[in-house]
Amino acid sequence: MARVPIKSRITTVSTQLPLVPLPNLNMTLSILPVVVIMLWLATFDSVYGQTYFRMPYNTDKWPAITKRLSELDYQIKTGRSPTYEVNYAIKMFDPATADYNYDSLYRVESDPEWKRRMEVVLPKMAAIALRLPQLLPNPGVRVLRRGENGVIRLNQVQVLSLLANSFFCTFPAKEEGFPRNKFCTLFEGAGGSEASKAEKLKAFLHYFERMLERFPPGSKGTGTLITYERRSLSPGEVPNWTNSGKTLTSVWVEEYGHIEDEKGFQHLQADFANKMLGGGILGNGATQEEIRFAVNPELLITSLLFEQLDNNEAAIVTGVEQFSTTSGYASNLRFTGDFRDTTPLDAEGRRDTSVFAFDALKFEDGKEYEQFWEWQVDRELKKAYAAFSKKGRTEDWKPIATGNWGSGVFNGDQELKFLIQWMAASQSERNMKYFTVGRPGLKDAIVQLLNRFKQAAPPVTVGRLYQAIALYRRKVVDKHNQNNISIFKFIQNDSEAKALLRLP
């Protein structure tokens, strides 16, 4: 993130700025004030640049942004194309976007009904975007960097204004290591991606419609609270998997349904994330994470405020509302309409919906066997445990709703990934509901394994299952035989594995 210009710093200083101690200088009185001020500004510049997201109203482009977005309503009412006006406005204050073609947004506008809806909602979006200085005054909102544990609390209207600014691409250039934060890349159509991009845009526009009906620009409402948490495990918090005595918890398996259907107090919901949170939501992506961000747009704030996740980190977002429904996947994704989220509020005033984002490793074609290596298994366990663990919240007993994490193009072994998530959930003392959608036969294989494990005496522990995976690695993977015997079959039939797990 670029640093705040000195002019902006001096004119926008408020009592909310981070406290920076003044140095104890033994100097003559005549030069002391000047030196102190210079040192304070230098220190503040460093603190601000590292700690806070740079707001567009702290840039020299804000007057141009204000002018163009204020004119949007008039220009659209004169009969101009809504997409053309968005494109023209953005190019005026961000010339770097001049080469974007906006074909995906034009595709949405080509439907007369959506054109009418855009003519109504876009001026309201511009108005709420321009309220950002009032809704989030300096110093604005913190960023959560790699290695940092922290929670950001925002209300729905603050999130609405941030996302409207993201839509109009008003934010300064993103810092390296942070996800995309501008919609320009979603507006552009290229390589046949216009269809799925247009469907994501419909979901976002519908979100803006709903929120701006509920909270028109200038209203005093704030909406409900949303918390954005970054979890980073210290070395001392990573379990000793080999010696873990935690008993495996209960698992329910569903062949149909969706993770996001497990709302309310029932489950924590998995987001199979990219280490750059949001993945391709503002690009060509239309898989599990991107679809979840489209129907729950308030998740997109993580793309603004979270530096990429490290191997020991996860993100947990609580309080997001679902606004839309979709069907299909990837190029077949379709926006299907409105969704009314009736999830009750928790004790903190948040919707009782928690989404945890954790990214899996990707394995090259032909090298899928590498995922059974010890350090790879340990990495995935650590990642899942960062997402599932209670982090001192002993009252947090919610089970996990998850599924085929790291499969598909990531080439994750479905059976191994199930075991890893089960172990991490068990270490966290959480039960798990597992969705096998799109994986024929996987439900039956898991149910067979669960029934077999119920026969173990004493019950199977996390530590013994971890040792069984290591045994499979030595006896099967290291001998390049994993294509002939899966890990499920091995641990149920190999005599050494059965003895280790106490299976009859």
Residues annotated as catalytic are 271, 289-290
CB atoms within 10 A of CB 258: 15
Cα separation, 204 vs 299, whole angstroms: 12
The number of angstroms, rounded, from the C-alpha of 44 to the middle of its chain's C-alpha atoms is 29
CB 158 within 8 A of CB 129: no
Cα separation, 132 vs 324, whole angstroms: 25
Residues sharing a CB contact under 8 Å with residue 396, sequence separation 6 or more, in sequence order: 390
Cα separation, 185 vs 192, whole angstroms: 14
Cα separation, 37 vs 119, whole angstroms: 49
> If you search the block for the tokens 């072994």, which residue do you land on?
413
CB atoms within 10 A of CB 328: 14
For residue 155, give the nearest of 218, 231, 223 by alpha carbon: 223
Cα separation, 370 vs 410, whole angstroms: 12
> If you search the block for the tokens 């919609």, which residue do you land on?
183
Residues sharing a CB contact under 8 Å with residue 74, sequence separation 6 or more, in sequence order: none
For residue 435, give the nearest of 204, 195, 221, 261 by alpha carbon: 261
CB atoms within 10 A of CB 121: 20
* Rounded (10°) angle between helices 112-129 and 156-167: 110
Name 317's bridge partners: 228, 355
Tell whether 274 is in a known binding site. yes
Tell whether 288 is in a known binding site. yes
CB atoms within 10 A of CB 135: 16
Give the start-end residues of each E strand in 104-224. Answer: 150-155
Buried-exposed string 413-450: b where 16+ CB fall within 10 A, e elsewhere: bbbbbbbbbbbbbbbbebebbbbbbeeeebbebbeebb
Tell whether 84 is in a known binding site. no
Cα separation, 158 vs 132, whole angstroms: 8
CB 150 within 8 A of CB 144: yes
For residue 104, give the nearest of 9, 224, 2, 199 by alpha carbon: 199
Q: What are the binding residues for substrate?
A: 274, 288, 329
